[in-house]
Structure 1
Amino acid sequence: MLKKLILIALTGLIITSCSSSLDTTNLTAEERLAYSIKLYENEDYQEAAKEFEALLLQFPGSAVSDDAQYYLGMTRFKRGEYIIAAYEFSKLIKGMPTSEFVPQSQFMLAECYYQLSPDYSLDQKYTKKAIEEFQVFIDFFPLDSKVAEAEKKIDELNDKLARKEYDTAVIYEKMEYTKAALEYYENVMEIYHDTKYAPLAHYNKINLLVSKNRNQEALDAANSFLKKYPNDSNYSSVEKIKTSLESKLSVRNKNES
């Protein structure tokens, strides 16, 4: 807190000069940080990044190194340089583990990958990385005010992964690759069980099994669906499928006996 108050006071003293005419070479670490933060607040991100980098080179291990490292990451983030920003935040987390900026840096590290997460149809490595880093944030800083936001974004990202898996299953089903389709539907049901795609995958699985005359498997899947999703929009449809399957299986069992 004291460090922040000193920086605020220094900012007022330093920024009386025009940024273009201010010679930063003779400033103390605290003074240079105050000047750099002012550039950042004025959205002069290119110059701010140069100043933060210069500060870290000129005053390695100073009392304000973690401030400079954090704001350097934020500057890169504001410029849309998410890969570089992630590196800068990670550098602070690993190299300055006792810094007050670690929780914020962990959240922003996850946020970088969140911003890099592409459309669901594309490769999802950044999506998975974002989920991983948001979860680390939640695990290590459970009382932080941003935990709710992190949880919400994890849900959003999981929905994206579930949709990709679900759409892959649908494609395989249309191509009549039954085994692959069923495997992908199962993945959605098990891995992404708390997304909206889980009951859809379960419903599709039931219908696919029925279409292949795998009636006992379909009946088992229908019973499972009715237990798991009593409020789902497809509930009544699955009830009818169950009744039909029970009738067919009853007739078959009588014929076999």
Structure 2
Amino acid sequence: MKKLIAIFSVLLVLSSCSEFQKALKSEDIKTKFDLGIKLYEEGKFNKANRLFAQIVPNYRGKPQAEKLMFMYSNTFYMMRDYHISGYQFDRFTNAYANSEKVEEAAFLAAKSYYMLSPVHSKEQKETYEAIDKLQLFINKYPESDKLAECNAMVKELNAKLERKAFEIAKQYNITARVAIDYEACIKSMDNLLLEYPGTAFREDALFWKLDSEFKLATNSIERKKADRTEKGIEFYNAFKKIAQKPELIEAADKMYAELIEIKSLNDIKS
């Protein structure tokens, strides 16, 4: 019995493949359309896509075009070809602004851009594009049932940009060779805190500002040492107000003790 079922399954697959191959070679666009829909509904998006691609130009301006274009766009999304799905869904929303599918298409277009966002260590062009697309959707469809998901995606993408900005700023300190590198770290951390006032990196940003100013003070020429020492103490006080991480507090306290010692020596000299 099991053997018969296996044979039947093989024959069914072969028949299906034969039907698909015949449709691909056929000149009848309705045959391609009907089989494409059948394959689409069965979740065979790759095959459906190949058939739809052959007939899309033939259906422009026809009643079936709207349905075809939505399914065609969605096959790319389901195949994880997000570059093309984003582009095709954008085209759909522009061409069929009154469609009952336009909100879903706009959401899937925005989500396609979200799916293209790379890891934080890479260039973030696609991340900015995704945030823009998601925000446009949120503004246009404030009552959508996809709103919570969109907000969650925007939050995740913003967190990625925050981390990218923080890592770049931190890198100025880690790879510093001259004073200007530490100054770049301080300025970049300030920009991070200004652009993302609620950032999760606030404590770390203030710590690396302190660390940069501390290194400037301890390696400074005499005429700049007093001013940089005062700034280091100022940065320490700002850090201590919000500090939570024991390892950062311990490191900051050691820097502060050394800054106070430098200040005392400066006071004696003056």
TM-score normalized by structure 1? 0.73
Residue 89 of structure 2 is matched in structure 1 by: 89
Residue 221 of structure 2 is matched in structure 1 by: none
Residue 151 of structure 1 deviates from its aligned partner by: 1.0
1:196 to 194, 200, 206: 200
SS in 1 for 2:148: helix
- The answer to whether residue 83 in structure 2 is matched with residue 79 in structure 1 is no
SS in 2 for 1:63: coil
- Contact 1:93–1:105 at 8 Å: present in 2 too? yes
In 2: Cα distance, 1:92 partner to 1:150 partner: 20
| Residues 229-248 of structure 1 aligned to structure 2 (within 5 Å) | 229=242, 232-233=244-245, 237=249
Q: 1:207-253 CA deviation, whole Å, 9 max, x = no partner? A: 322343334444555565567x58x447x949969997997899699
In 2: Cα distance, 1:167 partner to 1:26 partner: 54
- The answer to whether residue 137 in structure 2 is matched with residue 134 in structure 1 is no
Residue 205 of structure 1 deviates from its aligned partner by: 1.4
Residue 185 of structure 1 deviates from its aligned partner by: 1.2
- In structure 2, the CA distance between the partners of 1:196 and 1:58, relative to structure 1 (3 Å rule), is same
- Contact 2:236–2:256 at 8 Å: present in 1 too? no
Unpaired segments of 5 or more residues in structure 2?
1-14, 218-227
Q: Which has the larger displacement, 66-75 or 34-43?
A: 34-43
Residue 146 of structure 1 is matched in structure 2 by: 146
- Contact 1:66–1:101 at 8 Å: present in 2 too? no
- In structure 2, the CA distance between the partners of 1:220 and 1:103, relative to structure 1 (3 Å rule), is farther
SS in 1 for 2:120: coil
Unpaired segments of 5 or more residues in structure 1?
1-16
In 2: Cα distance, 1:246 partner to 1:42 partner: 70
Residue 79 of structure 1 deviates from its aligned partner by: 1.3
Q: Which has the larger displacement, 100-109 or 208-217?
A: 208-217
| Residues 61-210 of structure 1 aligned to structure 2 (within 5 Å) | 61-176=61-176, 177-210=181-214
- In structure 2, the CA distance between the partners of 1:219 and 1:109, relative to structure 1 (3 Å rule), is farther
* Runs of 4+ more than 4 Å apart: 17-24, 218-227, 238-257
- In structure 2, the CA distance between the partners of 1:83 and 1:178, relative to structure 1 (3 Å rule), is same
Larger fraction in helix: 2
AA aligned opposite 1:202: L
- Contact 1:114–1:130 at 8 Å: present in 2 too? yes
Residue 139 of structure 1 deviates from its aligned partner by: 0.9
In 2: Cα distance, 1:194 partner to 1:70 partner: 39
- In structure 2, the CA distance between the partners of 1:26 and 1:72, relative to structure 1 (3 Å rule), is closer
Residue 36 of structure 1 is matched in structure 2 by: 36
TM-score normalized by structure 2? 0.70
In 2: Cα distance, 1:182 partner to 1:243 partner: 17
Residue 125 of structure 1 deviates from its aligned partner by: 1.0
- Contact 1:166–1:197 at 8 Å: present in 2 too? yes
> What is the aligned length?
236
AA aligned opposite 2:90: S
